[in-house]
Amino acid sequence: MGLKLEIKDGYYRYIEPEITDREYKGKSIIEIPDDYTVIDIETTGYDCVYDSIIEISALRVRDKQAVDSFSSLVKPTKFFEFGSYDKRADEDDYYDDSSPAFRPLSSTTGYYYVLDFITKLTGITNEMLDDAPEPRDVIPEFLSFVGNDILVGHNTNFDINFLYDAALSENCGTLKNNFVDTLRFSRKLFPDMDHHRLSDTAAKCAVSYENAHRALSDCKITFECFEKMKSIISERYSDISQFKRLFRYVGKRIDCSTITAQTGEFDEDHPFYNKTVVFTGDLGTMSRKEAMQLVVNVGGLISDNVTRKTNYLVVGSFDFIKSVKGNKSTKMKKAEELILGGYDLKIISDKTFFELI
DNA sequence: TCTCCTCGAGATCT
DNA sequence: CTCGAGGAGA
């Protein structure tokens, strides 16, 4: 969000989006440490290129207990020219000219830090930020407070990116810490929940959500949620490796054997009756599973791979499948070989398939 | 059957 | 960002 312009030396200029690879950034890890530091920031918006950090907090935890905290407002590095265009101007919530928070920061400079909806959300006003410490002072303090701890937060990647970039631009060290994301934990532990926002997770964990949306409050909420989730993990799994397995990469496939006919009677003259059909590529309007179901419903057989038993290869589009070499998939090449070898196999387009079915 | 890759869809952070 | 779907290759 925010305008793509920055005021410098009395002029404004457009900010070029910088592409940073954040090469020293830590990894999102699945661990349940008893010693760690919870972090949270408030910002002027979602976009770390156009928005600024306005508050940083951290809560140090030792042996499952909160033992120390850090919290500071931060003077924004980017700001808006008063009255300048913003794409969200049409949305009522974002502007309220009568609100004191909307007043320009200074009548002489005529720009402001936070839009009204951020003040409504966090309670942080332009006036508060006018007196806030500079990032060149806050960022080093923050980095020294967290040290080498594992960082914990809800969707922490958001915070880490802002903080990493801030450390980079203030030239005061690098945020290399690995981090644990309570959002990922919440999704795996409570898969039935519709949403896994911090508020939802707190409700599920019976943690008070009062005073939310100030950085230190959110650290405390996140801390309590994390400890609660840790105890649920200990109850539910005999060791952490079982829990970690939930996050393990699994190449999920449609299990053909689970797709069975929804009717008992088949038309034995149907072109797919008792024929083995294999799909390759994207069918567009229909998912592969649905297409397989149609085949089985007319008495056909389905399989994942082209073999000598295959009778039809249905070819969808490869437009968005970059891993296909030279416009032909392995299944297609194999089918062509088999046809040359005299097997009863036809390659048909998805369009033909839908006509036949 | 397993792993790695790429893509799109959907969700979360302020 | 994460995750699922699906192609490729071992």
Whether A71 has a pLDDT exceeding 90, the answer reads yes
**Residues A44, A122: Cα–Cα separation, whole Å:** 10
State whether the beta carbon of A8 lies below 7 angstroms from any atom of strand C: no
pLDDT on residue A7? 39
Whether A101 has a pLDDT exceeding 50, the answer reads no
Delineate the domains of chain A, giving CATH numbers in brackets.
5-245 (3.30.420.10), 256-356 (3.40.50.10190)
Q: What is the mean pLDDT of residues A231-253?
A: 83
Mention every residue, 6+ apart, whose C-beta is less than 8 A from residue A243: A30, A32, A188, A233, A236, A237
Of A92 and A35, the one with more pLDDT:
A35
Q: What is the pLDDT of residues A127-161, one digit of tens each?
A: 899 889 999 999 999 999 999 999 999 999 999 99
Q: What is the mean pLDDT of residues A27-43?
A: 94
Q: What is the mean pLDDT of residues A323-332?
A: 77
State whether the beta carbon of A153 lies below 7 angstroms from any atom of strand C: no
Instruction: Please list, residue by residue across A214-234, b when 16 or more beta carbons sit within 10 angstroms of its beta carbon and e when fewer do.
Output: bbbbbbbbbbbbbbbbbebbe
pLDDT on residue A110? 55
Summary mean pLDDT of chain A: 82
With a pLDDT cut of 70, the percent of chain A lying above it is 83
State whether the beta carbon of A37 lies below 7 angstroms from any atom of strand C: no
For residue A234, what pLDDT band results from cuts at 50, 70 and 90? very high
What DSSP string describes A260-311? --S-S---TTSTTTT-EEEEESB-TTS-HHHHHHHHHHTT-EE-SS--TT--
Q: Provide the whole-model pTM.
A: 0.77
Q: What is the pLDDT of residues A211-228, one digit of tens each?
A: 999 999 999 999 999 999
- Residue A305 CA to nucleotide C5 C1', Å? 16
Q: Which nucleotide is nearest to A324 (CA to C1')?
A: C7
Q: What is the mean pLDDT of residues A24-34?
A: 91
For residue A250, what pLDDT band results from cuts at 50, 70 and 90? low
